[in-house]
Structure formats: C-alpha cells, structure tokens
DNA sequence: AGCTGATGTAACATATAAAGTAACATCAAA
DNA sequence: TTTGATGTTACTTTATATGTTACATCAGCT
C-alpha cells in the first residue's frame, strides 16, 4: 500500500484548529492547507472526535480541541487515527510443522513489542503544543 | 498496501540458516518453513547478501552467515531489507502558502526522527542470537 | 561434456490498504 | 426556507507487498 499520512494529516488538522481557532475552520479550508480534500479531513476529524480529542458539530464549522494542546500527545493522535497501531508486523503464516516456523511468531512478537513500547513512549513525550510551537517558530524565523 | 513482512521473513531466513547450517538450505526448503515461495526467499537473501549479512553461491544451496548470530542485530536486518526504513511518514504535499502547511513538514520530521531514533536503538539492542534462543527455548518447552 | 538442480533476477499478476472522489442525508444559521 | 456546513458511505485510483513464472547462469555429479 501507500505509506500512511494519517498521523501527519491528523496533527496538521489539530494544529490548524488550535492556531486559527477564531478563523475559518471548515473542512474545505483545512483541506486546502493539507492539500487534500474535505472528505478526508472530515474522516480524520471523525476519528479524532471518537478519540475524545476534538469536538465538532454537524452543520457548523466549529471544531474545538477538548483540552489544551499541552495535554494532547502525539501518541493520543496516533492511536486515534491508526487502527493497526503496530509499527512492525509479524508474518502470521509460517509453517507450524517446522521448528522455526512454529516458534518464530511469538518470539518476534516479543521483540517487536519492545520496539513498539519505546516508540510509543517517545510519541507520548511529544505534545501537540510542541508541534504548534515548532510551526510558529519556523514561520517567524522566515518572516522577520 | 499490505503490511510488510520483509523484516520478519528475513529474520526467519537467517535463523533457519543458522539453526540448520548443515542441513538442506535450498530456497525451496526455506520457503516451505516461511510458507512463502522460493523467489521471495531468494530476493530477501539477495538483500541480506548485499548488506553483508549472508554469503550465497549461485547454483549451490549453501548460504552462510558472515558472522556470529550474536553480532547481527535486528537493525542490521531491518536496514538490509526495508529500503524506506522510516516507521512514520510526513505528508510531503502540504500547502506552502499556509503557515501550517509551510512549516509542519520540517517540524514533524524532527518529531518523527526522535521516534525513529529510539526504535532503531531498540532494534539494535536485539540480536539474531536472541531470536534463535527464543525459538529453540519455545520448541524445547513444547517437546519435553 | 552433458545432465540435473540450484541460485539470481526480472517481468508480470494479484492482493491490500491509503487516499481521492462523489453523492447525499442531516443539521445550523440567517 | 434557503444556503452551506458536517457525517458518512460507496466507489475509484494509486502505491506497495507479495505471488508467480520464466529463464539465464552456475555447481556438482556421472
């Protein structure tokens, strides 16, 4: 498949909502910033809403973060939009009659879990507020 | 796309070669253990050979690890078989005329690099020898 | 030398998931 | 009531992984 940009686009949406909180927050406007389409934006916003990160109102372009950007981690967003949150994938079709095929799946799962654990810990350490600060800092550096 | 099993299958191949080093190591036999096909096994072995982890000889089913399994990390294997080694992907098509779109790519790259760094460190900490030990331990537990 | 069976590699087909597109029901606000 | 928004679904397109086939090349044996 193509590589997923869902995490990146979801963070983009949340950052946009936070930065332009009193501006035009229609899915079409946000889609223009993402260079994507309104339906994708609405789909991602739906996932963010179900995860409790965003409130929306049907018929009204008024999305809002449910809490401060300092209290939203990249892990929160990742879990909201990536249903298979696994970074690495075990081949679950190996020969059970072979010593290697019969035992490698559980062994690898254990190994991959360690990778997943540290990656998620790192995602948890980074907040939406930091991303927003990074965006604004870069912007100001360019326009001064 | 489908999720990649290349890392898992490559580790499988290396473990198989190490465990059955004096047995039948034809791509067809290994493919039977992976429940895949010989061409895939040969493709992955080609990548492992180019990465310096394995030696092979055309015409002869005699693959060998180039060094002890304790000196081959999962990161070595990962880099050998995953050409795009990035676990997370920035959306590289965002609107440069928007403050968010123009600056989020670099900001996210920085954030994702941190995740990549800790994940790779964890992959580096785990060796092929540990995977082999895990496979054999599980096997012995079942057959005692 | 020739036969057999192996690898190396490429071309093509298929499967799967992401993202794009379009349509429409529903709701908000004027 | 009209306009324009969201929520959601179905379908299409695209990208990547894997499967399949074919065949050139090589090793090892007789």
pLDDT of residue A101 exceeding 80, the answer is: yes
Q: pLDDT at position A2, please?
A: 83
Q: pLDDT at position B144, please?
A: 79
How far A118 CA sits from the closest chain B CA (Å)? 6
CB-closest option in A88, A119, A134 to B7: A88
Q: pLDDT at position B143, please?
A: 85
Q: Say if CB A134 and CB B107 are below 8 A apart.
A: yes
CA distances for A69 relative to A14, A19, A142, angstroms: 9, 10, 24
- Best CATH choice for the domain B6-143 from the list 1.10.10.10, 3.40.1190.20, 3.40.50.150, 2.70.70.10: 1.10.10.10
- Domain assignments of chain A as residue spans, ordered by start: 6-86+127-143
Using DSSP's 3-state secondary structure scheme, residue B56 falls into strand
First-last CA distance in chain B: 42
CB atoms within 10 A of CB B82: 16
The answer to whether strand C lies under 7 Å from the CB of residue A144 is no
Whose CA is nearest the C1' atom of nucleotide D21? B39
Q: pLDDT at position A1, please?
A: 67
pLDDT of residue A143 exceeding 90, the answer is: no
| Four-point Cα dihedral A69, A74, A79, A81, nearest 10 | 80
pLDDT of residue A64 exceeding 70, the answer is: yes
Q: pLDDT at position A11, please?
A: 98
Helix (H) or strand (E) holding A95: none
Q: Say if CB B34 and CB A101 are below 8 A apart.
A: yes
pLDDT of residue B17 exceeding 90, the answer is: yes
DSSP state of B126: -
Q: pLDDT at position B1, please?
A: 60
Mean pLDDT, chain A, rounded, equals 97
| DSSP output for B67-118 | S-GGG-BHHHHHHHH-SS--SS-------TTSHHHHHHHHHHHHHHHHHHHH
* Better-scored residue on pLDDT, A52 or B3: A52
The 10s digit of each residue's pLDDT in B66-79 is 999 999 999 999 99
The class (CATH top level) of A6-86+127-143 is mainly alpha
Distance B38 CA to D25 C1' (A): 17
């Amino acid at each position: 498949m193509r590589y997923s940009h869902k995490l990146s686009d979801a963070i983009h949406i949340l950052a946009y909502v936070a930065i332009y909180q009193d501006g035009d927050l229609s899915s079409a406007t946000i889609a223009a910033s993402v260079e994507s389409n309104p339906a994708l934006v609405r789909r991602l916003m739906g996932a963010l809403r179900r995860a409790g990160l965003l409130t929306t109102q049907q018929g009204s372009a008024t999305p809002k973060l449910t809490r401060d950007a300092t209290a939203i981690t990249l892990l929160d967003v990742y879990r909201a939009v990536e249903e298979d949150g696994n970074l690495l994938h075990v081949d679950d079709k190996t020969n059970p009659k072979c010593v290697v095929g019969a035992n490698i799946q559980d062994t690898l799962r254990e190994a991959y879990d360690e990778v997943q654990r540290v990656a998620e810990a790192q995602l948890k350490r980074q907040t939406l507020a930091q991303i927003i600060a990074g965006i604004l800092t870069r912007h100001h550096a360019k326009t001064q």
